[in-house]
Amino acid sequence: MILNNRLRALFNPPLYHGWGRSKRFFEGWYYKIVSQNQKYALAVIPGIAMDENGEKQAFIQILNGKKLKATYNKFNSAEFKPTPRKHELKIENNFFSNTNLILDLPNIKGELFFRNLNPWSNSFFSPGIMGPFSFVPFMECYHGILSMDHDIQGELFLDGEKISFNKGKGYIEKDWGHSFPVGYIWMQTNHFSQPGTSVKVSIAKIPFLKSSFIGHIAGVLINGKLIEFTTYNGTKLVVCKVTKKIVEIEMENNNYVLSIKAEREEATSLAAPISGFMTARIEESLDANVHVILKNKISNVTLLNDLGTSAGIEVAGDYKVLLKN
């Protein structure tokens, strides 16, 4: 049963991957939720954490990006109840899936529904955003994208205030493994002047065997097409600059050039995994602006030149190892 569940999850990244794991493992799903007027931006992060000694806890972390406030809700690990055949997760009275979530926490309650999801491409030899690295059994951290962009319906009660998320926008991703990278940059926004556009970028130092490499993954969803920039498809990281105010990135593959200039905003501290347990700290903003230019090298046509708002940005750990002028 455990082997079947693991194999099923290998080819379906949204599913739970921790079947049979008892220590030094974490798995978490990241739901980004932004209201239509962008007055409210939340990240809801349910998951499970297991330390090196086998101590376990389930959790639901809430980031209120506009108010710069985060809460970490702990649960007995027995309350963490995933299903093996599709992404459905229950933690006490809270529920999470591809199509909805239900929250019943002291400071936030309600139900949201998700429609018109745009998942990352998936194939037998390249299951999800990790591509062929999905099959490497000793990676520090694995990554998955459930939806680059989707519509939200529903309402939440946040600190007693009723908030409508009708016609809002969402994004869902996940991570699993034992630790976040020692240094990484992450950003995402799907609030552009052209609806249905979404951009996600990650750059990280990846330990591999007895060495390491700088890995990068980016995706641009535009006009219903996902354009991928990844280490394994030959994309080159041309520029990576970071200051206290700005992050600049340029990637290039055989057909496209992606240029990004992000304006960093004040961030909020979140719990993050190290050796399976949520004892590290990172900082994330949900109120940044990201200027994106996407050019087709073959036709010399600019496909996207726009400002993304309500962007999530993390610049974490020893990010200086990622820099490239």
Give the pLDDT confidence of 206-249 residue by residue, as tens digits. Answer: 998 888 999 999 999 999 999 999 999 999 999 999 999 999 99
> Environment class of residue 224 by beta-carbon count within 10 Å: exposed (0-12), middle (13-18) or buried (19+)?
exposed
**pLDDT at site 316:** 96
pTM of the entire predicted model: 0.97
Q: What percent of the chain has pLDDT over 90?
A: 95
pLDDT for 318: 93
Q: If we measure between CA atoms, which residue out of 253, 247, 259, 251 comes closest to residue 316?
A: 247
Left, alpha or beta for 262 (phi > 0: left; psi -120 to 50: alpha)? beta
The yes-or-no verdict on residue 324 having pLDDT over 90 is no
Q: Which run of H or of E encompasses 2?
A: helix 2-10
- Average pLDDT across the chain, whole number: 96
Is beta strand 25-34 parallel, antiparallel or unpaired with respect to 56-64?
unpaired
What is the domain extent for residue 169?
2-322
Neighbouring residues of 158: CB distance < 8 A, sequence distance ≥ 6: 40, 42, 64, 107, 108
Q: Structurally, how many domains does the chain consist of?
A: 1
Local structure of 270: helix, strand or coil? strand
